[in-house]
Amino acid sequence: MNPFDLTGKVALVTGGAHSIGFSLGLGLARAGATVCFNCSNPSSLHRGLEGYKVAGIKAHGYIADVSDEDAVGAMVARIKAEVGPIDILVNNAGIINRQPMLTLPAADFRRVIDVDLVAPFLTAKAVLPDMIERGHGKIINICSLMSELGRETVSAYAAAKGGLKMLTKNICAEYGGANIQCNGIGPGYIATHQTAPLRERQADGSRHPFDQFIIAKTPAGRWGQPEDLIGPTVFLASPASDFVNGQILFVDGGILAYIGKQPQ
């Protein structure tokens, strides 16, 4: 028996129409899961469905604001009716607002908290009753290096991701006895289209200053790729991790283990 086989499992990936979420959806599907993904608007839904189709995967897409409790409940109920009860939840949807604290309006701070922390609470709350009734379930929260470290201009994001780390541990504490495993993945700096401008070579051929900073802080000497997150996600979604609970698995190329290069 393959302990990483997800055949027969229904997975929901929030924010799964593009970027990291899309890659995680592909990985779960290729491990055998039936993949449902959430997005926030029709254009993302269309793009996601087309992307999965091109990859040869029949995915199920749903539009919902994951920070709205009623919308989340309706989405989960619809997935249950159309596809089946959710066995695997990947809380991936997230936003960031890069501003110094002193210029960040409280409303913008709250919006980041709503999407990055309240939404995972709501989606977990919505899927847990069926998981408890069926006696198994996997919840994977996409945390961050900012669950452990601070950096300039990301106060709301760091606060939300730190909270998500502790929500992960608390779901484990409350529902581990029901054979539900809740773990987190903490991506390092991942090469996506959003970070592409930070990785472009400068006119003189040198690295962008932020690119230099990341490479110098990463023992692996490179940015991560979305595909680097697939293996850890499949592991945490599969029977291979049935005795792993309340943990945050950092997929960061070693950043958290490294103090930096000694000056020459």
pLDDT at 264: 79
pLDDT digits (tens, 9 = 90+) for 230-260: 999 999 999 999 999 999 999 999 999 999 8
| Run means of pLDDT, 10 residues per run, the chain, 264 residues | 96 97 98 97 97 98 98 98 98 96 98 98 98 98 96 96 98 98 98 87 90 94 97 98 98 96 81
In a domain, residue 1? The reply is no
In a domain, residue 43? The reply is yes
Instruction: Determine the Cα–Cα distance for residues 137 and 175; give it in Å rounded to an integer.
Output: 10
The count of domains in the chain is: 1
Query: Which domain, by its residues, includes 133?
Result: 10-192+224-257
CB-based contacts of 129, cutoff 8 Å, min separation 6: none
What residues are labeled active site?
157
In a domain, residue 213? The reply is no
What sign for the dihedral angle of Cα 164, 156, 198, 23? positive
pLDDT at 262: 81
What pTM does this model have?
A: 0.96
What sign for the dihedral angle of Cα 27, 29, 33, 34? positive
User: What CATH code is carried by the domain that includes residue 39?
Assistant: 3.40.50.720
- Count of all residues that appear for the chain in the document: 264
Half-sphere exposure of 3 (CA within 13 A, CB side): 8
Instruction: Determine the Cα–Cα distance for residues 136 and 160; give it in Å rounded to an integer.
Output: 27
Instruction: Determine the Cα–Cα distance for residues 23 and 96; give it in Å rounded to an integer.
Output: 20
